[in-house]
Amino acid sequence: MKVEVRKFAPALAKDFFALHSTPPGECFCAFWYLKENEDWSKKTAEENRARREELLKAGEYDGYLAYMGGKVAGWCQVGPRDRLPHLRRRMVLRPDAAVHAISCFYILPGERRQGVAAAMLAHVLAELRKKGVRRVEAFPRRGEKLTEDDMWNGPEEMLAHAGFKVVREDAQRPVMSLDL
């Protein structure tokens, strides 16, 4: 089935919330927005949704939604990297306003392994090129016992296939980069 990718916009908020209301996606893609002293393990789905609603009120429509057969099937968070304070802290990244980050993929469990994430990645990279973005980074997880739910940053193999290179090795979470 064909994957259609749409830039997140106010008209798609209902689809975004429907997608993220499906376990295990109840983070509402708020993780990387954590403030310095916030503990993610204590955040509820309701608190995450409230954070996302605040972000939307501030105009932060930071990603793309994927559709299959007219129904929302996935999400990819992408935008300027430095807008994500927790990402910069956790990954120990120097500020660089020119760098964009692909920081999350969430595909509905029933739609996984059908090329949704790869289609979104190709679309996102094409859009970033059109915007004149020069560099994009990604932060996949590594490990021997990772589950599909651990792939929320995107599989390293998919990113490598798209041309990303490891620019900082790490046994659990390397930094990958692609010059556009």
- Per domain, the residue ranges of the chain are 3-9+62-179
**pTM score:** 0.93
Q: Answer yes or no: is pLDDT of 151 > 90.
A: no
Q: What is the mean pLDDT of the chain?
A: 93
Give percent of the chain with pLDDT exceeding 70. 99
Give percent of the chain with pLDDT exceeding 90. 80
- pLDDT given at position 63: 96
Question: For residue 163, what pLDDT band results from cuts at 50, 70 and 90?
Answer: very high
Give, for 54, the enclosing helix (H) or strand (E).
helix 45-57
Question: How confident is the model over 69-91, as pLDDT tens digits?
Answer: 999 999 999 999 999 999 999 99
Question: How confident is the model over 108-150, as pLDDT tens digits?
Answer: 988 998 999 999 999 999 999 999 999 999 999 998 888 877 7
Do 107 and 95 contact (CB within 8 A), yes or no?
Answer: no
Q: What is the mean pLDDT of residues 4-17?
A: 97
- pLDDT given at position 30: 92
- pLDDT given at position 146: 81
B/e letters for 86-120, b = 16+ CB within 10 Å, e = fewer, are bbbeebebeeeeebbbbbbbbbbeebeeebbbbbb
CATH topology of domain 3-9+62-179: Aminopeptidase (3.40.630)
Q: What is the mean pLDDT of residues 9-31?
A: 90
User: Which residues are paired to 79 by β-bridges?
Assistant: 101
Question: How many CB atoms within 10 Å of residue 54?
Answer: 12
Q: What is the mean pLDDT of residues 56-61?
A: 96
Q: Answer yes or no: is pLDDT of 180 > 90.
A: yes
* Cα–Cα distance measured from residue 159 to residue 68, given in angstroms and rounded to the nearest whole number: 22
Maximum distance among all Cα pairs of the chain, rounded to whole angstroms: 43
